Amino acid sequence: MSSKAASSKAKRRVLLLTPPLLQPNTPYPATMYLKAHLDSIGVKCEQVDLSIKVVRDILAQFGGNEAEEILELLSSDAPIESKIEAANWVSDLASGICAEVDEGFGFSRYSEYLCASLRDFKELAKLIRKRGVIDEPLEKHLFLAVQKFRPTEVWVTCPFPGTLVGAFKIASYLSKNFPNIKRVIGGGYVSTELRHMTDKRPYKFFDEFVFDSPIKVPFIAPSYDGIDMQEYFDMPTETDLVSRLWCSGRWKKLQMANGCYWHKCAFCDVRLSYIGKFSMPTPGEIVDAMEGLGDKFHFVDEAMPPTLVRGVCEEILRRNFTCTWWGNVRFDAAFTPELTKLMAKAGCIAVTGGLECACDRLLKLMNKGITLKSAEKVLKAFKASKIGVHAYLMYDFPTETKREFSEAKKYVQSLVSRGLVSTYYWHRFGLTVHSPIYAAPEQFKIEVEPIPKGRLFALNEVGYRKASSRKATKK
């Protein structure tokens, strides 16, 4: 590297920010990966999770001393029953804030209902301007972070629609108060929804919109430097498996592989690189990272690849490393009773996975690569190994009949009554522009509604009609 290039790198100071609002039980991993990447190429950087700081301030503002005590209890190892009671108190407080002060306030999301299917930047601009409960604490912590670190660049991650307003409020504040700092945004929402952006107005807020990951190596261990895990708190509402996993616990989030090894499901965003471009590291690299991070992990893969899972389990056991973990899978026949037993031995407590329409005709049509029979075999293996299963289900898939849906519901009930599925959730099918269905709608007997002309901000889910009738679907 030339001395000029080295000195320009040395001058760069990147502040990595997580905007409000996200789940409060554990940090979202994007800035940890970005920090590890920037550290590895010698760029000075720091990370701040503004989401947890903002939510704590809001609760303290409206709940006073009682809120402080309750948050302490929710951060502790108190029994689940008392935590549920405490979490209910916090939920009531949050509902009050939402009803009386700021309708956008939701516990792990801000104005998500308005941002989930946004097309026009005008709508977002209104929300950015409108002052709500997050503004004051956000500006306070942002100011402190900028004063302390004096960045030349601020990188904001925006994983979900529920962080969009927070991300743009950060940019708005910086552009007014620290206009010389370069503002960059990236993350799941940006990579998924903003690829077709033609509107120029968002560039008043951010100088750059980055799609996909800037990390080019197959594996990097996330860095939690600067993150105070004591700030996070559980919000369990139920005692069931999913509630325990999603709402409680300081899980360190790790990716086993990049992308999905299957990447063929017709409804999925497989044309995006974070799903469609698959690569995997060695089991040793993953377990090295795990040992350096703690003992509780959530693998945030689209679908953990069975071969890599096997390697990771063998490596965990070879090193006598005691840990607990869970993650998403495809109910792939490769999860044999022998492999699930190995997984349980290596600390796996639960998996989540898509049974989708729970109907063989539709599983074939959507190219899921499983049948109910093959999936049931896999579910039996998980049950025998005492690994809990949460199933994702889908209704309103193109061509699905009422009868198929009703049979699917009965089938899922039978899986639950036989203890093969612990919990499940039905999502409505949504047609997205990055899916194979969008590219070949005729194969699914639908016609896609044209994308309206004019300045476009976000685009992901699109409307469609049944090809045979003119009846429009929801959207």
Q: Is the peptide bond before 21 cis (omega within 30 degrees of 0)?
A: yes
Q: Of the candidates 24, 25, 28, 63, which one interacts with ligand B12 according to CB under 6 A?
A: 28
Beta bridge mates, 252: 297
Select the binding partner of residue 330 from ligand SF4, ligand B12, none (C-beta < 5 to 8 A, by kind).
Answer: ligand SF4
Binding of ligand B12 by 378 (CB under 6 A): no
Q: Which stretch binds ligand B12 (CB under 6 A): 21-29, 135-143, 318-326, 340-348?
A: 21-29
- Name residue 311's beta-bridge partners: none
Rg for the chain, CA atoms, rounded: 23
In the complex, least distance from residue 65 CB atom to ligand SF4, rounded to whole angstroms: 45
- Where does 328-401 have alpha helices with state H? 337-345, 360-365, 372-384
385 interacts with ligand B12 by CB under 6 A: no
Cβ contact 186:209 at 8 Å? yes
Candidates 67, 75, 166; CA nearest to 115 is 166
Give the angle 380-261-266 at the CA atoms, nearest 5°: 85
Which of 137, 151, 161, 166 is in the footprint of ligand B12 by CB under 6 A?
Answer: 161
State the pairing for strand pair 348-356/324-329. Answer: parallel
142-164: b or e for each residue (b if 16 or more CB lie within 10 Å)?
Answer: beebbeebebebbbbbbbbbbbb
If one counts every other C-beta atom within 10 angstroms of the C-beta of residue 244, the result is 19
Measured from the CB atom, is 245 or 265 closer to ligand SF4? 265
The torsion defined by the Cα of 43, 164, 392 and 267, in degrees rounded to 10, comes to -90
Stretch that binds ligand B12, among 24-32, 61-69, 95-103, 131-139 (CB under 6 A): 24-32
Contact call for residue 23 and ligand B12 (CB under 6 A): yes
What are the φ/ψ torsions at residue 109 (nearest 5 degrees)?
-160, 150
Q: Which does 438 bind (CB under 5 to 8 A by kind): ligand SF4, ligand B12, none?
A: none
47 binds ligand B12 (CB under 6 A): no
In the bound complex, which residue of the shown chain has the CB atom lying closest to ligand B12? 186
Which listed option, ligand SF4, ligand B12, none, makes contact with residue 161 (CB within 5 to 8 Å by class)?
ligand B12
Q: Can residue 111 be called a binding residue for ligand B12 (CB under 6 A)? A: no
Return the residue of 35, 56, 83, 109 that touches ligand B12, per CB under 6 A: 109
- The reply to whether 29 sits near ligand B12 by the rule CB under 6 A is yes
Say which entry of ligand SF4, ligand B12, none residue 185 contacts (CB below 5 to 8 A, set by partner kind): ligand B12
* Amino acid of residue 89: W
Residues in contact with ligand SF4 by CB under 6 A are 260, 262-265, 268, 270, 275, 302-303, 330, 354
Phi, psi for residue 174 in degrees, rounded to 5: -65, -40
Contact residues for ligand B12, defined by CB under 6 A: 22-23, 28-30, 33-34, 108-109, 155, 157, 159-162, 184-189, 191-193, 210, 213-215, 246, 253, 255, 269, 274, 300, 302, 460
